[in-house]
Amino acid sequence: METVTHRGRETAYRRSDRGGDGAPLLCVHGSGGNKGVWKSQFRLADDRPVVAMDLSGHGDSDDIDAEEGYSTLSAYADDVIAVAEATDAAVLVGNSLGGAVVMHVALERDFDPEALVLAGTGARLSVNEDLLGWLADDFDRAVEFLHEPGTLFDDPDDDLVELSEAAMRECGREVTARDFRTCHGFDVRDRVGEIAVPALAAVGENDRLTPPWFHEYLADELPDAALAVIDDAAHLAMLERPGSFNAAVGNFLSGLE
């Protein structure tokens, strides 16, 4: 694990570099997650350096004192830029909330990625009202709901559920609720067409949280975008079907080089 210090806090990341000369990837997790959800994407490090990070308040990164919504999104964008600059990352990969952060960076910041991978995300990320209620007063029920078949995972094995649940419980109710409420307020449908860099919208075919039509919208509205649908997967396709996910990302990036 490595860290970068910025704005008075430390942001943690893991890097794998096996000498590949492709553009380095920086992977950004979603709500209540951490860098561990990208463990299978380090297989791509034969072709290019791969970095996975912990947003503030997640995993091994220091937390922030920020209100949910734009303030949190902006702080997370600071984290991404700090790690990208420390690692020379040129391709930003974001899942769910991570996708929102990546789009925020592309739209709002003086940072020009070479490409984006937007996985299990959308130009708008409204959240189920029941889930928001459980996150406020019944965290156990929220965690249980998110790990029911067809939500974060399509048909997961016990090890994947255990990994994801442990990350969310370690993150805790307060930060996880902040994440989901930040997602709930995210809406860049009126600006997404300004993202001019090549992009891949990747989605699990059975994702109920950010369904395929969210990604069809991104592929249609972004000026230079492709769509990849991952069979037999839901919201965390990169963790549930890493071979298919990595192939989609690898094919997309090889087409840019």
- C-alpha 112 chain-centroid distance: 18
pLDDT digits over 174-224, tens only? 999 999 999 999 999 999 999 999 999 999 999 999 999 999 999 999 999
Q: Tell me the backbone φ, ψ of residue 52, rounded to 5 degrees.
A: -125, 135
Confidence of residue 162 (pLDDT cuts 50, 70, 90): very high
Type of residue numbered 8: G
CATH number, residue 152: 3.40.50.1820
Task: Report the pLDDT value the prediction gives residue 31, as an integer from 0 to 100.
Answer: 98
Task: Report the pLDDT value the prediction gives residue 157, as an integer from 0 to 100.
Answer: 85
Give the Cα separation of 117 and 57 in Å (integer). Answer: 23
Q: Which two tokens stand for residue 66?
A: 């920020």
As for how many domains the chain has, the answer is: 1
Domain hosting residue 168, numbered range: 2-254
* 68 contacts 182 by C-beta, under 8 angstroms: yes
Helix (H, G, I), strand (E, B) or coil at 93: strand
Task: Report the pLDDT value the prediction gives residue 156, as an integer from 0 to 100.
Answer: 83
pLDDT digits over 101-141, tens only? 999 999 999 999 999 999 999 999 999 999 999 999 999 99
In this predicted structure, the answer to whether residue 257 has a pLDDT above a threshold of 80 is no
Averaged pLDDT, 138-156: 93
Q: Tell me the backbone φ, ψ of residue 194, rounded to 5 degrees.
A: -80, -10
Give the Cα separation of 27 and 96 in Å (integer). Answer: 12
